[in-house]
Amino acid sequence: MTDPGQRDIQYILRKLPHRFPFLLVDRVLEIELNVRIKALKNVTINEPFFPGHFPARPVMPGVLMLEALAQTAALLSFESLGTEPGEDTVVYFVGIDNARFKRPVGPGDQLILEASVDRAKAGIYRYKTRASVEGHTVVEADLMCTMRKVE
């Protein structure tokens, strides 16, 4: 069942180990445990990458859009497992397939991030992901991740 309550930045900070400038999710809009999640990232001119990418036409790097999708998928994983990451837990990419970039994302855009569980086997999770702006797909990819304890 979809939870109608939004989860704010305080919730995200408890669930993800990422911090500024690498935390790329601002709010969770919907979550259905073990199934799907919908979140958002407000893209502002203050992002640290815009002065160099590109000064005349600021564009959010595609790799950071993929990272935002991975962070969204990690939120779904932690919430579904009923855990919060400790200092010794990280979620690693193990694969990115079928990544397609459809349109540029820039300052003022609101990136809607969606991830759904495609498969979970032997500690490897595969997600179908999509990011959109104003209903238009900007990137889609199949992401594979795993959670690991680090020493």
Catalytic residue numbers, as ranges? 53
For the record, the structure tokens of 107 come out as 């300052």
145 within 8 A of 74, measured Cβ to Cβ: yes
21 prior amide bond cis, ω within 30: yes
Q: Would strands 124-133 and 136-149 be described as parallel, antiparallel, or unpaired?
A: antiparallel
Ordered DSSP codes for 104-130? ---TT-EEEEEEEEEEEETTEEEEEEE
**What is the SS3 assignment for 133?**
strand
For the record, the structure tokens of 118 come out as 């495609």
69 within 8 A of 142, measured Cβ to Cβ: no
Task: Give the separation between CA 120 and CA 5, rounded to whole angstroms.
Answer: 26
